[in-house]
Amino acid sequence: MLRRLGVTGKVLCAISRGCVELLGLSWGIMCGHMATNVWFWILFNLFVVGMLALDLGVFNRKAHRVGVKEALGWSVFWISLALLFDLGLYIFAGQKVALEFLGGYLLEKSLSVDNIFVFVMIFTYFATPAEYQHRVLYWGILTALVLRGIMILSGAALIARFEFLIAAFGVLLIVTAFRMFQSDDEAVDLERNWVVRGVRKFMPITDDYRGTRFTVVENGIRLLTPLTLVLLVVETSDVIFALDSIPAVFGITTDPFIVYTSNVFAILGLRSLYFLLAGVVDKFHYLKTGLAIILALVGAKMVTEVASEYLMAEPIHVPIQWSLAVIFAILGGSIALSLLFPQPEPALAVVTAEPTAEGIIAAKEELAQVDA
């Protein structure tokens, strides 16, 4: 037993040293790229937190149904804010950095449409009232900002030490693209989700919603509400999406500041984009195919550039202008094809069986009761 504890202690010490080393490298990466002053990172994050506090504390203080007009206004606001930030990068950091941010932002924004498909499915499955959905997305996005920030800094630190990981990320994107090509849009039974099963097994949950509250105390017992379950499923789904989207942006640029800020601005506009497109997102049925093609091309670009450094005298490097042009063309083409060739409406079921005497009598009795 003591020997096992000794081995376990050594393993934990090794893991701890690795984590500390990784954190130190992440800090060096954060301070050593475009934003040489760490205060710039701090001020940017304080600005983001301030905007989120203003959003929930002032504009959306009361739970309400977000309409299309309100969602459109917020979408325009967040997109304009991202473009103004990009303009600032162009003025103070140059064209290349500005184009890298624009490419990363556009890629994240387009991939977030896939999140909307999943959010619609989650809210529909749990029958979440429309006036509570904004609160779930707010806290889900706040958690996503923290988790994605950790993932981006860790990824940048690993890439700085092991450059060949860019190729590994590229292979991951190609595999993801292949799975997107093969995936269907059939509904998923969320009761089999490991998060749902785990929470239901270890925590008591109320039968119905309790307003916008995540927990309540009833009969001296702390209970979770279904809103907490919805929040956890939303957060875990975003983490899964981040495993694909973050490597994709690393295919555009390896600067952690650009990867992080493009992610942040795309996530900040995700809630308003959801309320704007939730009712019509199924109309863009070719968009998922377009996103799969983009992921495959970005993955191929990452693998090719890394391989050419080892195999060719003059390594291949795809200019950011070409990457932006390809992303714009594929996204625009997939949206245009979706609108030009809409999916046929599902045909109504046709009843071919002849009416029976029992059925006619039952129908007459129902009509008599209605008339009475």
Cα(158)–Cα(166) distance, rounded to whole angstroms?
A: 10
Burial state string for 80-96 with b = 16 or more CB within 10 A and e = fewer than 16: eebeebbeebbeebeee
* Mean pLDDT estimate for the chain: 78
pLDDT at 319 over 70: yes
Predicted local distance difference test score (pLDDT) of residue 104:
92
Give the list of residues 6+ apart from residue 102 with CB closer than 8 angstroms, or none: 86, 324
Predicted local distance difference test score (pLDDT) of residue 85:
92
pLDDT at 42 over 90: no
Which two tokens mark 16? 């701890």
Predicted local distance difference test score (pLDDT) of residue 349:
43
Torsion 339-345-75-321 (CA) sign: negative
Give the list of residues 6+ apart from residue 341 with CB closer than 8 angstroms, or none: 286
Predicted local distance difference test score (pLDDT) of residue 57:
62
Predicted local distance difference test score (pLDDT) of residue 101:
94
pTM (two decimals):
0.76
- Residue 289, classified by CB atoms within 10 Å of its CB into exposed (0-12), middle (13-18) or buried (19+), is middle
Give the list of residues 6+ apart from residue 181 with CB closer than 8 angstroms, or none: 289, 292
Cα(35)–Cα(19) distance, rounded to whole angstroms?
A: 24
Cα(8)–Cα(115) distance, rounded to whole angstroms?
A: 40
- Asked if residue 173 lies in contact with residue 299, where contact means CB atoms within 8 angstroms, the answer is yes
Task: Give residue-wise pLDDT tens across range 67-117.
Answer: 778 888 888 999 999 999 999 989 988 899 999 999 999 999 888 887 888
- Asked if residue 269 lies in contact with residue 82, where contact means CB atoms within 8 angstroms, the answer is yes
Predicted local distance difference test score (pLDDT) of residue 36:
45
Task: Give residue-wise pLDDT tens across range 200-234.
Answer: 888 888 888 988 889 998 888 889 999 999 999 99
> Where do we find the tokens 């005298």?
313
How far is CA 82 from its chain centroid? 17
- Asked if residue 255 lies in contact with residue 263, where contact means CB atoms within 8 angstroms, the answer is no
Q: Which segment of 61-70, 146-155, 253-262, 280-289 scores lowest on mean pLDDT?
A: 61-70
Which two tokens mark 324? 């932006």
How far is CA 358 from its chain centroid? 54
Domain spans in the chain, listed from the N-terminal domain onward: 1-32, 38-343
Torsion angle, CA of 304/305/307/313, rounded to 10 degrees?
Answer: 120
